[in-house]
Amino acid sequence: MRGKQAKKRKLEPDLKYKSPLVSRIINSVMLHGKKDLAKRIVYTAIEDAAAKVKMDPMDFLNSAINNVKPEMEVKARRVGGANYQVPIPVNPIRQETLAVRWIVNIARSKSGSPMSQRLTRELLDAYKKEGDAIKKKEDMHRMAEANKAFAHFRW
């Protein structure tokens, strides 16, 4: 690594659910500093999706995010003039970050309906273990599995 590692900032839990995870999703959805709009979008999406599967909103959100969290990823390592994709385990904080990022980016990339509906659809797909976010996780695991021979380059 080059330079200093960034210090971890403590994220304040959101006011409604008292959850840092919801706060992280709100910050990820937010564009141009419009936090109230992002809160409205996220709360609507979580409540609508949880109502469709008749669950508590926080239990629903936790299970949806847990379904998308990757266990392994590949990182490029340069060894002797060659680049290898080396599989490494993902730490829990990064797992959550990647899961939230994938869900929000996929919801943002779709078009034709309001963001809250797109986010609802993505959360439901994640809960049911289908959709683009799950596909992204499986692709990452497939890459790690295919490059298992280079695992000894991990350090």
At 92 the pLDDT is 93
Sorting pLDDT into bands at 50, 70 and 90, what band is 1? low
Query: Residue 123 corresponds to which tokens in the numbers above?
Result: 């959360």
Q: Using CA atoms, how far apart are residues 150 and 124, in angstroms rounded to an integer?
A: 36
Nearest to 55 by CA among 118, 103, 123, 104: 123
CA gap 21, 71 in Å, rounded: 18
70 vs 139: CA distance, rounded Å: 10
CB-CB contact of 23 with 11 (8 Å): yes
Please name the amino acid found at residue 29. Answer: V
**What is d(CA 123, CA 63) in angstroms, rounded to the nearest whole number?**
10
Helix (H) or strand (E) holding 65: helix 57-68
Average pLDDT over residues 31-43: 96
> pTM above 0.85?
yes
What domains does the chain contain, in order, with CATH numbers?
20-153 (1.10.455.10)
The predicted structure's pLDDT at residue 17: 93
The answer for residues whose C-beta is within 8 angstroms of residue 140's C-beta and 6 or more apart is: 70, 72, 73, 74
Q: What is the mean pLDDT of residues 57-84?
A: 91
β-bridge mates for residue 90, sequence order: none
Residue of higher predicted confidence among 80 and 109: 109
pLDDT of residue 151: 75
Mean pLDDT within 74-100: 90
In the block, tokens 């680049």 appear at: 83
147 pLDDT tier (thresholds 50, 70, 90): confident
